[in-house]
Amino acid sequence: MAFPVQLIPPVRHGDARGWFTETYNRETFRKLGINCEFVQDNHSLSAPAYTLRGLHFQIPPYAQDKLVRCIRGRIFDVAVDLRKGSPTYGRWVGAQLSAENGHQLFVPVGFAHGFLTLEPDCEVVYKCSSLYAPEHDGGIAWNDEDVAVSWPLPEGVPPELSSKDKQLPHLSAFNSPFDYDGHPLEPLDP
């Protein structure tokens, strides 16, 4: 059983040429409680700054664990607890991921995921534990007042959104198929 959401800083080995890091090792991740098998890798480019993608998830039987990292630019990455019965249902955590810091965010099944780019031309890669299944795709509104994510948008600057993300429902309209696993959402360690 994995912990709800984890921020995973890199171990970088550097010299005058640059650095090397291992971004995924099944045994290392199992020691962190991450026991899923990843079956799909995704890569996105968001050209304008303040592009917001999310808050997305897939429902069972195609629910997805995700391991997210930013390989170019900087993003604010967010996970929202959707597990019914959880004492932290509807709460969120977020962290800045960047090419510079190399941090990764593990977002397990039962959480919505989204990110906001903080500069132009951000590239994000993430691993998924289930294949994309459009008929099981879901989401909640990025600006749902009940969730109240503190997106770091400059005052008066609206995010760039897809037509899909503009129409996502609020959390109150969502009947969660995700069950609480006994691990409440906890603040992320920097």
Per-residue model confidence as pLDDT tens digits over 16-60: 999 999 999 999 999 999 999 999 999 999 999 999 999 999 999
Q: Catalytic annotation on 56?
A: yes
Which position among 50, 89, 113, 126 bears the catalytic label? 126
Whether 126 is a known active-site residue: answer yes
Average pLDDT on 9-17 reads 93
Q: Which of 56, 89, 113, 180 is catalytic?
A: 56
User: What pLDDT is attached to residue 2?
Assistant: 54
Asked if residue 3 has pLDDT above 80, the reply is no
Q: What is the mean pLDDT of the chain?
A: 96
Residue pLDDT, tens place only, 131-156: 999 999 999 999 999 999 999 999 99
Predicted pLDDT of residue 189 = 74
Confidence of residue 1 (pLDDT cuts 50, 70, 90): very low
Q: What's the CA gap between 124 and 115, in Å, rounded? A: 9
What pLDDT was estimated at residue 56? Answer: 98
79-108 confidence digits (pLDDT tens): 999 999 999 999 999 999 999 999 999 999
Full-model pTM: 0.95
Residue-level pLDDT at 172: 97
